[in-house]
Chain A
Amino acid sequence: MIFFWAFVVGGIICVIGQILMDVFKLTPAHTLTTFVVFGAILDGLGLYEPLIDFAGAGATVPITSFGNSLVHGAMAEAEEHGLIGVVTGMFEVTSSGISAAIIFGVIGALLFKPKG
């Protein structure tokens, strides 16, 4: 069942993105930035975690989860060390996405030649 909800929730998030791009004429960069900020706000309100429990990868794969895990890391550390923890814990949870992007970016640049 989780597979079905992952498909539906992920699809709906992408449709919202498409509407932002087509109806409100935002560039993809603006759309993605809006999504990340929105994900961070949702997690601040405590709404993103239930969504992950409900939809699994439907909530963790869209870029909104990036905002969610930034807030998550910051909050986990903040509970231990107070306000300083907000800065030190920021990338605790998100590290995999960014490090993967950097590592595979460099590997990709080594392996592939630009097309066109």
Chain B
Amino acid sequence: MAKEKNQRKSPDETQYQAIQQEKEIKRPIIQNCIKAFFVGGLICLIGQVITTFYIYFFDFTEQTAGNPTVATIIFITMLLTGFGLYDKIGQFSGAGSAVPVTGFGNSVISSAIEHRTEGFILGVGANMFKLAGPVIVYGVFAAFVIAIIKTILMKWMGL
């Protein structure tokens, strides 16, 4: 398939691709990784502060405190996204702000805000999970397969 595609290219096209490859900006991987490490770490540190808060004042345990923490962090993300600050953090840190739950929250909230001009049902409602949808879909499907396998192993194989 790829070979056929190559054969059909005109000389101009191949030349263009060569130039494009040459001019492509090299991504500063190490630098990006350091930025991602510090921003991601900082977000998790803030999360830990919130978790500790919930453990001490609302009687959650280490395992269950994750839930209210996630909700709180998504709330903070809403404010940052709404005021346009999250985009700036995202540009600076790359995966550092995309991988934590804040990235998930940001993708939902920013699509909601972006599509509000198309109306609340067809705009906000329909587009909200445009970016976050795949995460939920494949998360649920993977969890389904894994849980089925584990249940079968535990119930009938006696593991």
**Chain A interface residues toward B at CB < 8 A:** 2-3, 6-15, 17-23, 28-29, 31-33, 35-37, 39-41, 43-44, 49, 52-53, 55-58, 60-63, 65-67, 69-71, 74-75, 78-79, 82-83, 85-87, 90, 93, 95-102, 104-109, 111-115
Contacts and interface: CB of A to CB of B under 8 A. Distances in A.
Contacts of B68: 96
Nearest to B97: A14
A106 B84 CA distance: 17
Main secondary structure of the interface of A (DSSP, over half): helix
B156 to A, nearest CB: 10
Interface of B: 27, 29, 32-33, 36-45, 47-52, 62-63, 65-71, 73-75, 77-78, 81-84, 94-96, 98-105, 108-109, 111-117, 120, 124, 128, 131-132, 134-136, 138-140, 142-144, 146-152, 154-155
B144 A14 contact: no
A13 B99 contact: yes
Given A44-B146, A75-B151, A109-B124, A101 B44 contact: no
Nearest to B41: A11
Given A86-B151, A101-B108, A112-B82, A60 B41 contact: no
B45 A32 contact: no
A109 B112 contact: yes
Nearest to B40: A14
Contacts of B132: 101
Nearest to B143: A70
B120 A109 contact: yes
